[in-house]
Amino acid sequence: MPGKSYKVLFLGRMFLGLVFAYSGFSKLMEPVENFQAAMAAYEVIPYAIVPFLAHVIPWIEFFFGAFLILGYLPRVSALVLAAMSLSFVVLILTTRIVTGVLPANCGCFGEGGLIHLKPLQVFIMDICNTFIGIRLAFLKSHPFSLAAFFREKSPSGT
């Protein structure tokens, strides 16, 4: 692989990892009810599963975001984050079609976080994240990663 695209993909990995790790972390620092309300604002999500999702999603984002930054299971982490990005794209699109309106704030980085994006902005970002995640999931080796470190340390080099 040419060095330049390798660097671009490394930056993509850092970007995707940081976005999700920060997103999860900022939600975990807040009372879960705040994220629950942000999710309930997307009226297409059945309310019965909102409390469960509000508890689980921040941890998934935080763990897999951190994993991707460190390069632990980078392909799996990238795939999980790509799937999450894609689900957010579908959620925004469905909400817009079904209800005709979108919440004022996407609720992606916790209500008290430093970043406040409108659903349209996050829609564009999630499309980009989906592509980055899919591309990273198909990348066989990841520079400066724990995966690469383990490979080098293994006796067979595989």
Report residue 61 as tokens.
């984002």
Q: Out of 22, 72, 88, 109, which residue is the one contacting another protein (CB under 8 A)? A: 72
66 binds another protein (CB under 8 A): yes
- 36 or 129, CB closer to another protein? 36
Do 130 and 139 contact (CB within 8 A), yes or no? Answer: no
Q: Residue 94: name the closest of 48, 149, 43, 154 by CA.
A: 43
Q: Which of 30, 60, 131, 143 binds another protein (CB under 8 A)?
A: 30
Segments in the chain forming alpha helices (H): 3-28, 32-40, 50-70, 74-99, 119-138, 146-153
Q: CB under 8 A: which stretch of 5-13, 63-71, 78-86, 130-138 binds another protein? A: 63-71
| Pairwise CA distance, residues 145 & 137, whole Å | 14
If the CB atoms of residues 80 and 89 are measured against another protein, the closer one turns out to be 80
Q: Which of 8-16, 33-41, 88-96, 131-139 is the region at the interface with another protein (rule: CB under 8 A)? A: 33-41
Distance CA 48, CA 56 (A): 14
Binding site for another protein (CB under 8 A): 25, 28-31, 33-34, 36-38, 40-41, 47, 62-63, 66-67, 70, 72-73, 104-105, 110-112, 116, 146, 150, 153-155
